[in-house]
Structure 1
Amino acid sequence: MKQHTRTAFIPACGLLALGLIGCGTEEDAFASVAEAPPGTSQAALTAGEQAALTTANTSASCTPLGNFYWEIGDGAGPLYAIPRGSGVTATTVMPIASASKWLYAGAYVQSRGYANLTADEKKRLNFTSGYIDENTTLCGDAGTTVSECYGSAYKNVTYRPLQNGRFFYNGGHMQKLALDDIGARRGTGLASVMDWLNAQLGTTLPESDSAVAPAGGFSSSAAQYRVFLMKLINNQYALSSQLTVDAVPAWPGGANVSSTPWTGGEAYYGLGHWIEGEPVNGVWTLTGHSSAGAFGFYPWVNAARNRYMVLARSRQLGDEEGEKSRACAQAIRKAYDLGVAQP
């Protein structure tokens, strides 16, 4: 169904239409979107917007999730954005767990250039390197370095030769990559991990002590992560055109898959992100790219790289929260595209 208007939320800096003129940075241009109560600052909804809103509020895949913020957008910014419940807005900063992986991969490829990546670097980015961490510690002590996070007091990353070449979903691959590249950096202060990452990506992600674990220790808001997604679909990164390269099977039972949290059927893993798909006439078809976090933060870009979505929530006591957010986001997107609310 054709979506004929961009979201009509009205931030303080001016009409939220097509541009960022006079609105400051990309991340805060839409920051007040989530502050107004639903239905008070929105012009007449399109059929897709109404269907998406209804789905977010009533779908069986969304109602158990508690409060969250979600938005759908394109290369110019949000098309439709609104909170579900209260307490989570576009600017709420939260731990994003494995959604960190896509950011780190984007920054690493940006710093090297895809053509210059070695085979070993690619294997650390698609989780087939054999470097596995023994502990789930987030390395959140103040002053910890990336190198210390790699060591026995924290992640205790070890090389397992029998896993080399097999997909094993684990942060140890990226911890080894960061050890060799930015091992002396810390979570906050001078020469922090975020100093390096933000310089590569043109983002303003916040510093945090746990950021020395680049596969799962970052924090972000939807507005801050949005900047990365917009630049990604606007072909501003080296990773932008490489979202399907070096992909390996990543679903249970897939070839050379040792360990995976994926539960949604056939899927692949590229450079720091999931490659999603679904069967169409019996043939697996690419639908998008994502990097769900264990606490429920879910960023997504479609296969055509002209649409993004963020569903922002943080439930640190739960089970498979990233997968739950993925299912809800999928229902919202389907409703938005079809103009029909999903059950």
Structure 2
Amino acid sequence: MKRSNVTQFIWACALWTLGTAGCGSPGDAGESIDGVTWGTSQAALTVYEQAALDTANNAAGCKPLGNFYWEIGDGSGPLYGLTKGSGVTATTVMPIASASKWLYVGAYVQSKGYANLTADEKKRLNFTSGYIDENTTLCDVAGTTVSACYGPSFKDVTYRPLQNGRFFYNGGHMQKLALDDIGARKGTGLLSVMDWLNPLLGTTFPESDSDVAVAGGFSGSAAQYRVFLQKLLNGQTALSSKLTVDSVPAWSGGPNVAFTPWTAAGEVYYGLGHWIEGEPVSSTWTVTGHSSPGAFGFYPWVNAARTRYMVLARSRQLGSEEGEKSRACAQTVRKAYETGIAQP
């Protein structure tokens, strides 16, 4: 993907709200936000950035999504970011639902070391262990522990022997693992779940009462999640080199698939706490990226080569298949950015 010399500094304006501010030359004085010095003069977008902006605003798969923030970057930082609508920026904290799974697994593998994981642990991380939530009650009562979240007052996770060895997308697998590992941790205060996770990942995710639901209760922003994605790209976590290991079929009708929420066409696989996306290339299914879309629309992604990351941040708690909608939109915007051609 070619870029002209004048765009070497363009990424510095990219995280600004669409149409409200531009960026100047590298020498412009400006405000320092999120490690970036913002210019004060107006500058034209590159054709790639303009294509991404137009696609975010006008593409059929993006227009119905409401307000969102989209960002693409590499191991060094953001390359370009945009806000569609208003009210959502790189630093807007929101519930990220199942995007929590990737973070929990990243921290778990970091704490244990991949080589030390047992077969049972791996099955809980790729959702083939047979441990399933009996209900969807959110563990968000102040003072609740991970152990209480596992129990009958909330998730009520049970073992179903007939599902052992089959892919069943459900937080119960991870909840059972957390019960055994960090059961006494709480959502806020001393010895919280985030007190355990943040040091392992080098992140700054905030505490909330619902964090004890490790498979879906975290909150965060695109900027906070970006740190984890960059560490995956840069080989700074134990999970970085393990994004394709222990993967199992996860598409509807796939072998040994008991339940999957994935609705996009074609094959998809599930690894350790994240989806493995792909597409046919010369009739052969080929990995294109890794992701962990949340039910409210938060969508983090890294490409198969671990050279790019992407986040689409939004929270729509009323609706269905919001994660898939965000995935489709984010990938359309990415295509526009990479080709310089706005997508329909």
TM-score of the two chains, using structure 2 as the length reference? 0.91
2:311 maps to a residue whose letter is: V
Question: Are the equivalent residues in 2 in contact too, given 1:130–1:166 (CA < 8 A)?
Answer: yes
- Give the Å deviation of 1:44: 2.7
Name the CA shift for 1:218/1:161 in 2 (closer, same or farther; >3 Å).
same
5 Å-filtered alignment, 1:139-158, equals 139-158=139-158
1:267 maps to a residue whose letter is: V
5 Å-filtered alignment, 1:207-246, equals 207-246=207-246
Inter-partner Cα distance in structure 2 for 1:11 and 1:315: 22
Alpha-carbon displacement from aligned partner over 1:264-318 (angstroms, at most 9, x marks no partner): 1210000000000011222111110000000000000001001000000000011
Question: Are the equivalent residues in 1 in contact too, given 2:300–2:312 (CA < 8 A)?
Answer: yes
Inter-partner Cα distance in structure 2 for 1:211 and 1:258: 27
- Give the Å deviation of 1:224: 0.5
2:297 maps to 1:293? no
1:340 maps to 341
Name the CA shift for 1:250/1:283 in 2 (closer, same or farther; >3 Å).
same
Inter-partner Cα distance in structure 2 for 1:299 and 1:124: 21
2:285 maps to 284
Say which SS state the counterpart of residue 240 (structure 2) adopts: coil
2:177 maps to 177
2:11 maps to 7
5 Å-filtered alignment, 1:23-102, equals 28-30=34-36, 43-102=43-102
Name the CA shift for 1:257/1:16 in 2 (closer, same or farther; >3 Å).
farther
1:250 maps to 250
1:29 maps to a residue whose letter is: G
2:323 maps to 1:322? yes
Inter-partner Cα distance in structure 1 for 2:306 and 2:41: 29
2:58 maps to a residue whose letter is: T
- Give the Å deviation of 1:11: 8.7
Name the CA shift for 1:322/1:41 in 2 (closer, same or farther; >3 Å).
farther
- Give the Å deviation of 1:2: 1.8
What percentage of aligned pairs have identical amino acids? 78
- Give the Å deviation of 1:137: 1.2
- Give the Å deviation of 1:208: 0.4
2:55 maps to a residue whose letter is: T
Inter-partner Cα distance in structure 1 for 2:61 and 2:281: 22
2:313 maps to a residue whose letter is: A
- Give the Å deviation of 1:15: 8.6
Alpha-carbon displacement from aligned partner over 1:75-112 (angstroms, at most 9, x marks no partner): 11110011111011111100000000000000000000
Alpha-carbon displacement from aligned partner over 1:54-84 (angstroms, at most 9, x marks no partner): 1101000000000001100001111001111
Say which SS state the counterpart of residue 310 (structure 1) adopts: strand
Name the CA shift for 1:219/1:201 in 2 (closer, same or farther; >3 Å).
same
- Give the Å deviation of 1:42: 6.1
Question: Are the equivalent residues in 1 in contact too, given 2:24–2:41 (CA < 8 A)?
Answer: no
Name the CA shift for 1:89/1:164 in 2 (closer, same or farther; >3 Å).
same
Question: Are the equivalent residues in 2 in contact too, given 1:107–1:201 (CA < 8 A)?
Answer: yes
- Give the Å deviation of 1:48: 1.7
Question: Are the equivalent residues in 2 in contact too, given 1:334–1:342 (CA < 8 A)?
Answer: yes
- Give the Å deviation of 1:16: 10
Alpha-carbon displacement from aligned partner over 1:157-209 (angstroms, at most 9, x marks no partner): 00001100000000000000000000000000000000000011010000000
- Give the Å deviation of 1:41: 6.2
Could you tell me which runs of 5 or more consecutive residues in structure 2 were left unpaired when the two chains were aligned.
17-22
Number of equivalenced pairs: 329
2:267 maps to 266
2:306 maps to 1:305? yes
Inter-partner Cα distance in structure 1 for 2:274 and 2:126: 8
- Give the Å deviation of 1:215: 0.2
1:222 maps to a residue whose letter is: A
TM-score of the two chains, using structure 1 as the length reference? 0.92
Question: Are the equivalent residues in 2 in contact too, given 1:194–1:207 (CA < 8 A)?
Answer: yes
Question: Are the equivalent residues in 1 in contact too, given 2:55–2:62 (CA < 8 A)?
Answer: yes
Flag as ranges the 4+ runs of structure 1 deviating above 6 A. Answer: 14-17
Alpha-carbon displacement from aligned partner over 1:105-138 (angstroms, at most 9, x marks no partner): 0000000011111001100000000000011112
Inter-partner Cα distance in structure 1 for 2:13 and 2:42: 5
Inter-partner Cα distance in structure 1 for 2:217 and 2:24: 35
1:186 maps to 186
Inter-partner Cα distance in structure 2 for 1:167 and 1:263: 15
- Give the Å deviation of 1:43: 3.0
Could you tell me which runs of 5 or more consecutive residues in structure 1 were left unpaired when the two chains were aligned.
none
- Give the Å deviation of 1:3: 3.5
Name the CA shift for 1:277/1:42 in 2 (closer, same or farther; >3 Å).
farther
Question: Are the equivalent residues in 2 in contact too, given 1:174–1:215 (CA < 8 A)?
Answer: yes
